[in-house]
Amino acid sequence: MPRPEDPTLRVLDELGRVVRGLARISGGADDGPAMTATQRLALFELVEGGPMRLNDLAALIGTSAPTASRAVDALVDAGLVERRTDPADRRALRIELTPEGRARVDRRKAQVAEAFRPAAAGMPEADRRRLAALLARLADELTR
C-alpha cells in the first residue's frame, strides 16, 4: 500500500507502525491484574506527572472525569494507586502511585526496552539520539 504524500499523515502512519510493532515484540500481558487502555494511560501519566487531582488526570488522558474515576477505582483496587488528601486543599484528593504501582511500571518499561533493544541497535547511535530529540519535540507540541 503506498504511503501518503502528506507528511503529517506519513508521521501518523509511521508512529502507528512503531506502536503496533512495540505491542507485538513486548510480549503478552503484564504481571498482575489485566488493565484497560485507560487504566494504563492513567498509571503512566501518574509516573510522568506525579500526584494529581482527578480532573487533571482526566484531561491528560483525554477522557471524562467519571471515566477517569472508574479507571482510578480499578487501580486503587489493584493496589497500584491511592487517593490521598491534597496538602494544598484538605477538601480535595490527589491520585498518587503506590510503590507497587511504580514497580509495575518500571518492570513493564524494562520488559519493553529489552524487546526493543535489538531493533534500536540496527540504527546508528546518532540516529537514535536524533529520533529521541524529535519525538520529545513532538510530545511537547502535543501537550501544548
List 123's β-bridge partners, or say none. none
For residue 24, being part of any structural domain is answered with yes
For residue 2, being part of any structural domain is answered with no
How many C-alpha atoms does 46 have within 13 Å on its Cβ side? 34
| CATH code of the domain containing 42 | 1.10.10.10
Transcribe 31-68 into DSSP letters.
SSS---HHHHHHHHHHHHH-SB-HHHHHHHHTS-HHHH
Which of 69, 74, 67 is CA-nearest to residue 32? 74
For residue 54, being part of any structural domain is answered with yes
| CA pair distance 39, 11, nearest whole angstrom | 26
Predicted pLDDT at 70: 96
Q: Give 25-75 pLDDT, tens digit per residue.
A: 876 666 677 888 899 999 999 999 999 999 999 999 999 999 999 999 999
Q: How confident is the model at residue 3 (pLDDT cuts 50, 70, 90)?
A: low
- Model's pTM, two decimal places? 0.79
Domain of 23, in residue numbers: 7-142
Domains held by the chain: number: 1
Find all residues with CB under 8 Å of 11, minimum gap 6, and list them: 138
For residue 89, being part of any structural domain is answered with yes
Read off the C-alpha cell for 95: 491520585
For residue 88, being part of any structural domain is answered with yes
Which of 132, 53, 140, 46 is CA-nearest to residue 97? 46
For residue 20, being part of any structural domain is answered with yes
For residue 1, being part of any structural domain is answered with no
